[in-house]
Every structure is written in C-alpha cells, then in structure tokens.
Amino acid sequence: MTSPRVVSLAPSATATVSALGAADLLVGVTAHCDPPGDSGGAHGGGGLPEPVGGWLNPDLDRVAALDPDAVLTSDELQADLAAACRDRGLPVCHREPADLDAVVETFAARGDDVGRSVAGERLASAARDRLDRVAAAVAGRPRPTVYCEEWSDPPMAAGNWVPDAVRAAGGRYPFVDAGERSREIGLDAVAAADPDHVIVHVCGHGDRIDPATVDDRDWAVDAPTHVIDDSLLNQPSPALIDGIERLARVFHPAAFPSSDRGEEGDA
C-alpha cells in the first residue's frame, strides 16, 4: 500500500505527525514548522521538506504541485485557508481544538488523517496517562492563581486550552474561560486577581523574552515571572503535555523529584 503524501500547513499538525512517528509522510510544511524533536530553533530542514510558505500565507500552487493525499490545517485562523484549499480540490483535514480534551482527541484524529490510526490512539492514550500522573501529583495541594500572557503589546491573557492547562497543572486561572479565544486585558485587572505566578509565552518568540519587560511594568503585581517556550502552551500538539508538566513543576516543586525540575528561563 502506498504511503499517503501529507502537506502540513500548521506547526501543531507537523509536531503531532512527527510524534506519531510519521514525519516521513510529510512532503510539504510551512516555514513555521520545527523539525522533529525541536521545540523552537531554526525552521525547516533537519528532516522536514522545504517549506511552502507561512502558516497563514502558503503558496497554494506549490501545495497543489506536491499532489498531496492530505492537507492538514488547524485553528480558526486557518479556516479561510482550509476553504481555499478545498476550492482547489485539495483533500483538507481541518481540526480546531478549543480546549484540552479536544487537543488530546486531535492526536487520535491526526492519526486517522495520515493513515496511522493505531499510533494516533496510542499517542492520545499516552497523553491522558501523563495528565493523570500530573493530576495525582498535585491533588490536594493549594492552587496558586496564575496569569498567562500570550502577547505583550498589548497584553493578552491566554485562552483556548491554556486555562485547562493551568488547572491540569494544579493552578487557578480566573482570566479567560477554557475554549474562549485569548483576549486583551488591562493591567489593573491582572493586578486585581493578585496572581502568584506570571507565565509569559509570547506567540512566535519561543523563550526569547526578557522577563524584565514584564517585571518592570508599572503595575501592582508582585509575583515571579516565568518565561516558557511558546510552543509548550500555544500549540495544540503533544508539546502542550510537556508544557503542563513544566507548569506543574513551577507551581508545585515539592510534588516532583528534584531531578525533574529545571526552570530555565524563569526569573
């Protein structure tokens, strides 16, 4: 049976296909997709094909020329792109997970999309097992209030699956409901919630943010700032499970062996 030819137009889809052990199926990706095992370095290369453009503006002529059996898109922001691909007769598999449960379900769905259903079910099951272990570790511990900032100019409180991620890690997130889009927030509103931790994961910046840009604000927030690679929270891929485990170690260090800690990038 011939292996499917897959074009991924979403970094999260590329990361998920790689986690399925199916990166060899990828014949096209975007310039924003990271090589397997890389959570934010040079884009392209390293085992991935040459990019066909950006994740919001790929060259659809190049996509069509690759003769794909599946074109993977993700997120509401790619809905118009998915429609444009369908208009060209391309076989689109579009996923829009809005909360943590839907993200995990998407792991299995991506397995179906690329003909690796068994691997997809295994990946989803492994993710649930990891989440269960985190839940057991943080059970019964006081829940710190957490503010997660997805964008800093203007400040935007993270939405979608991030509220669930904070709660799964043993925190409390009063800023946006799970499943709602990220939204601009006033600094006074953040201060009023009196957060115990500030998590900065600016979209597209990896972990290359100086904590001082947040710490030095003129706001009444006295909480440690932790800079986390944005792919660990902003991307609905298996990296999100890594991010939840990272958050749990930040919120509840005593719940985890010292060998598992490692808060690099934290201030």
Most confident segment among 28-42, 111-125, 251-265: 111-125
pLDDT at 151 over 80: yes
pLDDT at 51: 96
On whether the CB atoms of residues 49 and 27 are closer than 8 A, the answer is yes
pLDDT at 181 over 60: yes
Q: Which fold has domain 137-260?
A: Rossmann fold (3.40.50)
Share of the chain above pLDDT 70, in %: 92
Whether 6-96 shares its CATH topology with 137-260 is answered yes
pLDDT at 209: 87
Mean confidence (pLDDT) of the chain = 92
pLDDT at 37: 65
pLDDT at 41 over 70: no
Strands 6-8 and 26-28: parallel
pTM of the shown model: 0.91
pLDDT at 135 over 50: yes
When pLDDT is cut at 50, 70 and 90, the band that residue 261 belongs to is: very low
Half-sphere exposure of 107 (CA within 13 A, CB side): 27
pLDDT at 141 over 50: yes
pLDDT at 38: 59
pLDDT at 204: 84
pLDDT at 246: 97
pLDDT at 35: 84
Share of the chain above pLDDT 90, in %: 84
On whether the CB atoms of residues 109 and 13 are closer than 8 A, the answer is no
pLDDT at 36: 81
Tell me the average pLDDT across 131-142. Answer: 98
Tens of pLDDT, residue by residue over 42-93, are 333 457 898 999 999 999 999 999 999 999 999 999 999 999 999 999 999 9
Domain boundaries, the chain: 6-96, 137-260
Could you tell me which residues come within 8 angstroms of residue 253 by beta carbon, excluding any fewer than 6 positions away? 261
Amino acid at 84: A
User: What distance in Å separates the CA atoms of residue 23 and residue 153, rounded to the nearest whole number?
Assistant: 35
Tens of pLDDT, residue by residue over 18-29, are 999 999 999 999
Strands 146-152 and 197-200: parallel
CATH number of 6-96: 3.40.50.1980
pLDDT at 258: 66
User: What distance in Å separates the CA atoms of residue 100 and residue 259, rounded to the nearest whole number?
Assistant: 27
Tell me the average pLDDT across 30-38. Answer: 84
Could you tell me which residues come within 8 angstroms of residue 108 by beta carbon, excluding any fewer than 6 positions away? 117, 120, 121, 123, 124
pLDDT at 44: 39
